[in-house]
Structure 1
Amino acid sequence: MSEHNSRRTFLKHAAVAAAGFSIVPRHVLGGTGFVAPSDKLQVAGIGVGGKGESDIKAFHDSGKANIAFLCDVDDRRAANSVKRFPKAKYYKDYREMLDKEHKHIDAVSVSGPDHNHAIHALAAMQLGKHVYVQKPLTHDIWEARVLTHAAKKYKVVTQMGNQGASNDGPRQIREWYEAGLIGDVHTVYCWTDRPVWPQGIPWPAQKAEVPKELDWDLWLGTAPQKDYIEKLVPFNWRGWWDYGTGALGDMGCHLLEVPFSVLGLNYLQDVQASVGSVYVDEFKRGYFPESCPPSSHATMTFPKGSRTSGPVTLHWMDGGIQPARPEELEPNEIFGDGGNGILMVGTKGKVLADTYGDRARLLPTTRKENVAMKYARVPGGASGHYAQWVEACIAGYGKKEVSAPFEISGPLTEALLMANLAIRGADLKIDGKYPGRNLKLLWDNDNMKVTNFDIVNQFVKRQYRPGWEINYSF
């Protein structure tokens, strides 16, 4: 950024000199809020199909960002973005793009399969580029710790793609909580009807032909070498541990963000889990360790923090599992949004909300309380999440607040991935038994390890494919 800004400064001064110091005010050129092309954030997108496509469009629509470079391993997925931004230079390999174009890039948007988030984001951060990374921030706990540390080390503006963090709901709930309307929160429930992709299934024995538009080696990235299979791309990878993080990784950042931001939760101290089983016939359970289970319930304990009077127990439920309906909810009232929800239980009351913290309401829903607005709202709410990051990048590191910087979203992601350790541990079969079931995993946060069930520590930092290692020292 400093090198790029120096070039901008030189060009501006040269232009002024050539014009005989005739300065025209910016507002005359473009009206209030006008941003000259030279002042726009120059954004590169890594993974520009699907969610990545909508992300870079939102950055562009802020009016303060130019989509300068596009990168995707699959030409089919990239097609819409290439058409929308015809002036953006297109690459398949993010390494080539960053190597050739880093002097012309201010910020990078990372949106691809979970297993490649960290290697893409860290490469950009090490070049001094601001980063926006889709949720979950990373695939592994160690990777989340790395990106959290790197954001401070390289002094870059960061944001995770859990746009609900910019919604009004989390701020409204925090105002209720700090006004004492629900008392001391001790229990939280978050649930989802995901997965809506296959889980609890065997890896297909039949390999498939790689589509000509897809660079399979680049898509695999850090993951183990395997043959391509049908329907893995672009969506079903979420249900395989090599690439995705299951329903918890997909929806957890959107749902757990509310209790994290309201209660100031951080690293958890222990977790236990139970998982659903799949039957290959009516008498025999299947065992498919490469695939996330079809349903799970993880119970996390967070120690007393600065905003809680004691430990907080947080229940995560997926695959259609839901907590008991609160007695304050009328029989026909929708629980959450029907498939997903957040319920916070305090000593004086309860709060219910939908995904992204939407439709926050006290229970019973007839209860109406007015409290003073204490926390500024993000213009546009969830939609404003993107412009907020763009403006913070333009302002520079530490100059403007963002809703989901890595200092917050890093620990949030770690908590989710720690719960996934318990889910994977409960699904591990050793000598015909499941020793991880009915265990409470104890977490040593400083050393990033489970102290009482060592076998799951292999998933804290996985083995990377040769040539795709992530090297970072704290």
Structure 2
Amino acid sequence: MVQEKNNQGNSVSRRSFLKNGAMTAAGFMIVPRHVLGGKGYTAPSDRLVVAGIGVGGKGESDIHEFSKGPADIAFLCDVDERRAANSVKRFPKAKFYKDFREMLEKEHKHIDAVSVSTPDHTHAVAAMAAMQLGKHVYVQKPLTHDIYEARMLTEAANRYKVVSQMGNQGASGDGVRQLMEWYNAGLVGDVHTVYCWTDRPVWPQGIPWPTAKAEVPKELDWDLWLGTAPYKDYIDKLVPFNWRGWWDYGTGAIGDMGCHIIEPPFRVLGLGYPTSVECSVGSVYVDEFKRGYFPESCPPSSHVILKFEGKNGKEVTMHWMDGGIQPARPEELGPNERMGDGGNGAIFIGDKGKMMCGTYGMFPSLLPTSRSKQVNVPQTIARVPEGHYQQWVNAAIAGYNSDKAKALSSPFTIAGPLTETVLMSNLAIRSFDIKKTVDGKTTFPGRYIKLLWDGANMKITNFDEANQFVKRTYRDGWSLGV
């Protein structure tokens, strides 16, 4: 088990979430070896004791992947006993909780690391509470629901000296490294334009909030599931998946897929915060003659244009398309050849050539595709044979200052700015529905304008109303603790 952090850090961080509710102490379940050894004893760092927050669906597969290596899944936490059932069966010795705050309060001395795989709106509060207790964290994509949360988690990982990784597993794949080697070798020249696209959403979007109430399943703690979000009555089929299409909980198609598809160009081109963003969005027909926009729900499709300052000082334009919208096929791609992986992908356009990939950076290819077999670029970037999950487990065991931690594929220093870029697209999309009524006339001043972004200060400088989407107001009783 990894050595426990100093007691002062623990007491400060405990206060940050104890205000959310009174917690009681509990006896040991797993006794850390450094406790048995007495003060000053450092235990051999050969196993990582992991707690899972959100252990159904993707959370279930995450902790299963961790358990394949030197990790013990000792604690499980989920607000829905139905979703947790498989993990409870797979890890029968793990202690189960519904409230992550209670679990961390009672068991933090017995935990080395925490995996967070909840709906987007509770990623930040769960991860921050764990980091404040000195726990290493693995958080599913997107890292957070809001830009502000992403910035705070990025800073906190460094402040609390914990090993962090976001769950965009393609960041550890060979594909993105191949793309980097081609780019670094100058095969496509300076990339000035990137197209990224997805066929998501595959859940309802662009719809009004249902008026019919539904009975809360007895296994689900609805109030805990809502977490930071405003209280609303439960609706049918929101859980376990359709929450992705509602702004209170999810981050839409780009939140779901952006960290997988934007990551390759973000990494290959060394991008930072965008300098501007603009968008157009699809709408639905509410009757035969009227198109409708529903601000509680993500749109059915969108096209976002982000501008960046590239590594060489030249501007890079990134297009994001979802809802089935795709860019024009490159002329170098044959009429029957697959573009990206079909429904998703990214195309890099440079002044000397083009290259493309699918989701996770898979299927990397120079264009025309025959060129990939004709060039021979030496491998200069180390691969990750152990994979994304075990890379994090091994780094957490080695510690914050270890070479393994420094070599992580998606630590928050990388995942945070990437997530901010993804969420900047949503800021533009949500600004599309801002209304103003003057003299009885309704206008939408956030539509069809370019929003200028001051990344260092997390602020839109030319349309202040858009800044409401940088940071949410949490429901009473919930705090990020910063």
Normalising by structure 1, we get a TM-score of 0.91
Instruction: Specify the alignment match of 1:17 in structure 2.
Output: none
Instruction: Specify the alignment match of 1:58 in structure 2.
Output: 65
Q: Distance in 1 between matches of 2:466 and 2:66?
A: 39
Instruction: Specify the alignment match of 1:264 in structure 2.
Output: 270
Alignment of 1:33-112 (within 5 A): 39-62=46-69, 64-112=70-118
The answer to whether the 8 A contact 1:8-1:38 is kept is no
The answer to whether the 8 A contact 1:299-1:315 is kept is yes
Q: Give, in angstroms, the shift of residue 13 of structure 1.
A: 10
**In structure 2, do the counterparts of structure 1 residues 360 and 230 end up closer, same or farther at CA, with 3 Å as the change threshold?**
same
Q: Give, in angstroms, the shift of residue 446 of structure 1.
A: 2.2
Q: In structure 2, which of residues 457, 470, 474 is the aligned counterpart of residue 464 of structure 1?
A: 474
Instruction: State the aligned residue count.
Output: 445
Instruction: Specify the alignment match of 1:364 in structure 2.
Output: 368
Q: Deviations over 1:234-283 (max 9, x none)?
A: 00000000000000100000001101111111111100000001111120
Instruction: Specify the alignment match of 2:190 in structure 1.
Output: 184
Q: Does 1:373 align with 2:379?
A: yes
Instruction: Specify the alignment match of 1:121 in structure 2.
Output: 127
Q: In structure 1, which of residues 415, 418, 427 is the aligned counterpart of residue 424 of structure 2?
A: 418
Q: Distance in 2 between matches of 1:13 and 1:100?
A: 21
Q: Give, in angstroms, the shift of residue 340 of structure 1.
A: 0.3
SS for the counterpart of 1:39 is coil
Q: Does 1:3 align with 2:4?
A: yes
SS for the counterpart of 1:207 is coil
Q: Deviations over 1:275-314 (max 9, x none)?
A: 0011111201123110000000000001132xx3511100
Alignment of 1:175-324 (within 5 A): 175-305=181-311, 308-324=312-328
Instruction: Specify the alignment match of 2:395 in structure 1.
Output: 392
User: Structure 2: which amino acid aligns with 1:267?
Assistant: Y
Q: Distance in 1 between matches of 2:188 and 2:390?
A: 33
Q: Give, in angstroms, the shift of residue 118 of structure 1.
A: 0.2
User: Structure 2: which amino acid aligns with 1:43?
Assistant: V
**In structure 2, do the counterparts of structure 1 residues 10 and 45 end up closer, same or farther at CA, with 3 Å as the change threshold?**
closer
User: Structure 1: which amino acid aligns with 2:59?
Assistant: G
Q: Give, in angstroms, the shift of residue 211 of structure 1.
A: 0.6
**In structure 2, do the counterparts of structure 1 residues 206 and 416 end up closer, same or farther at CA, with 3 Å as the change threshold?**
same
Q: Give, in angstroms, the shift of residue 8 of structure 1.
A: 2.3
The answer to whether the 8 A contact 1:274-1:297 is kept is yes
How much is the aligned-residue C-alpha RMSD, in angstroms? 1.8
Q: Give, in angstroms, the shift of residue 469 of structure 1.
A: 2.2
Q: Give, in angstroms, the shift of residue 433 of structure 1.
A: 2.5
Give the ranges of 4+ consecutive aligned residues of structure 1 lying more than 6 Å apart after TM superposition. Answer: none
User: Structure 1: which amino acid aligns with 2:207?
Assistant: I
Instruction: Specify the alignment match of 1:353 in structure 2.
Output: 357
The answer to whether the 8 A contact 1:136-1:250 is kept is yes
Q: Distance in 2 between matches of 1:410 and 1:290?
A: 25
Q: Give, in angstroms, the shift of residue 10 of structure 1.
A: 6.9
Q: Does 1:443 align with 2:467?
A: no
Q: Distance in 2 between matches of 1:10 and 1:279?
A: 64
Q: Which structure 1 segments of 5+ residues have no match?
A: 15-35
Q: Deviations over 1:402-443 (max 9, x none)?
A: 100000000000011111111111233433332211100001
User: Structure 2: which amino acid aligns with 1:355?
Assistant: T
The answer to whether the 8 A contact 2:77-2:98 is kept is yes
The answer to whether the 8 A contact 1:184-1:309 is kept is no
Q: Does 1:342 align with 2:346?
A: yes
User: Structure 2: which amino acid aligns with 1:274?
Assistant: S
Q: Deviations over 1:148-207 (max 9, x none)?
A: 000000000000000000000111111111111000001001000000000000000111
Q: Give, in angstroms, the shift of residue 398 of structure 1.
A: 2.4
Q: Distance in 2 between matches of 1:81 and 1:7?
A: 23
Q: Does 1:452 align with 2:462?
A: yes
Instruction: Specify the alignment match of 1:28 in structure 2.
Output: none
**In structure 2, do the counterparts of structure 1 residues 424 and 264 end up closer, same or farther at CA, with 3 Å as the change threshold?**
same
Q: Distance in 2 between matches of 1:210 and 1:265?
A: 44
The answer to whether the 8 A contact 2:193-2:348 is kept is yes
Instruction: Specify the alignment match of 1:22 in structure 2.
Output: none
Q: Distance in 1 between matches of 2:254 and 2:56?
A: 22
SS for the counterpart of 1:377 is coil
Q: Give, in angstroms, the shift of residue 395 of structure 1.
A: 0.1
Instruction: Specify the alignment match of 1:434 in structure 2.
Output: 444
The answer to whether the 8 A contact 2:32-2:110 is kept is no
User: Structure 2: which amino acid aligns with 1:8?
Assistant: R
Q: Deviations over 1:103-133 (max 9, x none)?
A: 0000000001000000000000000000000
Instruction: Specify the alignment match of 1:19 in structure 2.
Output: none
Q: Distance in 2 between matches of 1:10 and 1:78?
A: 31
Alignment of 1:167-182 (within 5 A): 167-182=173-188
Q: Deviations over 1:434-457 (max 9, x none)?
A: 221110000112221111111121
Q: Distance in 1 between matches of 2:111 and 2:4?
A: 11
SS for the counterpart of 1:468 is coil
Q: Which structure 2 segments of 5+ residues have no match?
A: 7-30
Q: Deviations over 1:324-357 (max 9, x none)?
A: 1000000111111110011001011101101000
**In structure 2, do the counterparts of structure 1 residues 272 and 152 end up closer, same or farther at CA, with 3 Å as the change threshold?**
same
